[in-house]
Chains A and B, each alone.
Chain A
């Protein structure tokens, strides 16, 4: 009965990028569909504030060496997106799901995963997730119900260290000492964290004192995520990973005579990472504040925009004035335009052939889907 409903859904609804409609329908018909369709199957869950999509796609490529991999690969990471991907993954013998931070506890419960990869945890869309400590507590509680499930974490993140503090099978991978915007105080007990040593340490509850399984030193976010994905691949017996290199979630599009590399940025840490890795080309910032972007633009003030000083900067998006005043205060010159197309047109007129855009979520989706539609 369920199989027939799904196969009918597959035919009626084509799976586009970010498709969740078939998932919505499926969950409306069968609220337990995720649990039912993953029962007895091998499931990998990937969650974190940043890098879910790029990491799970790097991981899917690695595991594709040995498995027929299914799961959500386009950033649709709520229960609806996961359900939708299951509709298309009937034959897969390994399922990799990237999971939204707030949905992780329920997806752990429903899928009983074979292994969980946690990338990082920091402030993101505060109107929605409220406090990062609340998310950490919910993750802790969710893992407590699956004490035997292996978990791999970036041990340089105090929040992840706190989430797995009582969990048995944990692989801790260290990436040097990395400052954390939300971890002046201990995520576990609230005492002040000591950041003066080689690693963070809580002298009250002992968080951070654990040995890491391997220490890889400081590296960029995408390299960290690649290393974490490789650790999962090793767990599944894939030893030769030499042909896989770190890949970021960047899309390229041709617009108004120039080539634009688009990078999705959505919270202070991903913006900072994006600003760190700019090429010597004009920069377009596109800032929206629709629901999934985060309704509150206050985060702009947690980002250091001085890397843009002296560069050619164009700002677009529904909240371009918020972004403009922010970069102005950091001494960055800019011009304002109404849309990404107009940004491209201006950059083309000024004699450039390439540009790079940092865009919030809805702007990224708008740009990438619009261009696809034109082909």
Chain B
């Protein structure tokens, strides 16, 4: 069997917050299960490989985000074709925004996105910065992460990844806490404002992406418990800080 291909899209542009960690975590969790995996980095001056199994889009500063979306426009067909044959796309933060119809640029001007999902991102009045806790129907336990973004995203009917228990998510302070959602799920696209190495803090989410490509996952060998310990510790810390439990 050919190795699982994890394609990191423009790591030199979309890698502001340790985003490359997501590729490392996916490759590691495949490899320790006996599934060979390789990480393929595609820079902005290369065309996207069509053979990827999981494509990753990270976060980036405004200008880098625009440079990335401009370089990606000609590759939308390749990416959509890969998703049609079952590949997965996982995007965080700026990566989430560029998938939509449009997003705000350096001075708030409107930049046309890739149009792969019908969402719209707009500039917010302030930056949302801090720890996030998100309850997704995909998992028993909440996801945790860190967000740091000014943009707000209107899903326009696309399903969210989950409900925001702590933090801002797609909408931020303009929306009541009980109404806040984070990220999106659309076919084989999964995206979130939990930025950077979101899969390092959420091993269940990493395994979910792997399982959607591979099918049933073998169990993890001994020595890998540290991922679950970290996830539980973060959930506990956030829960204790906000709900006193």
Q: Which residues of A contact B (CB under 8 A)?
A: 123, 126-127, 130-133, 182, 184-185, 190, 192, 295-302, 321-322, 324-326, 328-329
Contact = CB atoms under 8 A, between A and B. Distances in A.
A298 B195 contact: yes
Q: Which 10 A-B pairs have the closest CB atoms?
A: A301-B18, A301-B21, A298-B196, A184-B12, A190-B63, A298-B18, A321-B230, A298-B17, A301-B197, A296-B146
A126 B148 contact: yes
Contacts of B226: 321, 324-325, 328
A296 B196 contact: yes
B165 to A, nearest CB: 18
Contact of A185 (B20, B63, B230): B63
7 contacts: A126-B16, A190-B106, A296-B148, A301-B19, A322-B201, A322-B230, A326-B21
Interface of B: 12-13, 15-21, 24-25, 28, 44-45, 61-64, 66-67, 106, 127, 129-131, 146, 148, 195-197, 200-201, 226-227, 229-230, 233
A61 B177 CA distance: 55
A329 B28 contact: yes
Interface of B is mostly: mixed
B16 A123 contact: yes
B27 to A, nearest CB: 9
Contact of A126 (B17, B67, B201): B17
A321 B200 contact: no
Nearest to A333: B223
Contacts of B229: 321
A185 B67 contact: yes
Contacts of B25: 329
B9 to A, nearest CB: 13
A301 B200 contact: yes
Contact of A300 (B13, B18, B19): B18
B146 A130 contact: no
Contacts of A131: 16, 61-62
A326 B24 CA distance: 10
A217 B205 CA distance: 45
A192 B28 CA distance: 31
Contacts of A185: 13, 63-64, 67
Given A133-B61, A192-B44, A321-B229, A301 B148 contact: no
Contacts of A190: 63, 66-67, 106
